[in-house]
Structure 1
Amino acid sequence: MKVAIASDGGNVAQHFGKCQEYAVFDVVDGRSENFSYIPNPGHQPGFLPKYLKGLNVDCIIAGGMGQKALNLFAENNIQPIVGISGEVKQVMEDYINGKLTSGASLCTHPDGQHHDCDGHC
């Protein structure tokens, strides 16, 4: 299984589409392998779910994303886990150990709009 974590400076990014990079790793026999960072190729509506699927990603972990992004990941058979914060390596270990569960998206704004993430967090 291949997992990607939206990352900014070694921490889980609040907005999956606006992150600096993706920490990508394989989960094999209960441990991580082939850990690397892949630069974010840029945020365009609908692009990133297909891009990550092309990298064989099965799961995306982020602080948040909007409903449209959640739907696009589902269409590409990628499991989103949102509401996550913290240091990437710790989140990776928590995922491997089954301690990570999806929560409320951190990509929220007081008026319900996604102004700075073009509605596609």
Structure 2
Amino acid sequence: MAGDKLSEHFGHCQYFAFVDVENNAITNISRMDPPEHQPGTFPRWVAAIGATDVIAGGMGPMAVNLFNEAGVNVFVGATADIPRNLVTRFLDGTLKLNANYCDHHGEHGHHDHGHHHH
């Protein structure tokens, strides 16, 4: 986040908004300052806090891969808006994303990355 809106550049965000959701309802929004930015710091930190999904304005594929390795889903290309609005739209399926690094093949549905068992 930058100010009170979503930061366009993930690596430059001043703080993170962690949104707690239960039964598709927002129960709490907490603002947390991230550790000093080093490669791989944010994904480990976010995963350690227990977040399962990250909504970002812009993020490089390396960062996306690090998040995925940490077990965190990444949704990239969200508009700069306040966390409550973004998460509300995310939950009801109306969040508009102009990029999604998870989906390279036009497949719909959930699939594991790099964990294909035959």
TM-score relative to the length of structure 2: 0.77
Contact 2:57 2:80 in 1 (8 A): no
Partner of 2:89: 94
When Rg is computed on C-alpha atoms for both structures, the one with the higher figure is: 2
Structure 2, gaps ≥5 residues long: 101-118
How far apart are the structure 1 equivalents of 2:67 and 2:19? 18
Structure 2 residue 67 is matched with structure 1 residue 73: yes
Partner of 1:27: 21
Bigger relative contact order, structure 1 or 2, given CA contacts below 8 A and separation 6+? 1
Partner of 1:49: 43
Structure 1, gaps ≥5 residues long: 1-6, 106-121
Partner of 1:104: 99
- Tell me the CA shift for residue 62 of structure 1: 0.9
Return 92-101 or 14-23, whichever deviates more: 92-101
| Deviation beyond 3 Å, 4+ runs, structure 1 | none
Seq. identity, %: 33
Residues 59-106 of structure 1 deviation map (CA, whole Å, 9 limit, x = unaligned): 11111111110110110110001111132221121112121254327x
Contact 1:81 1:101 in 2 (8 A): no
CA RMSD of aligned residues (A): 1.5
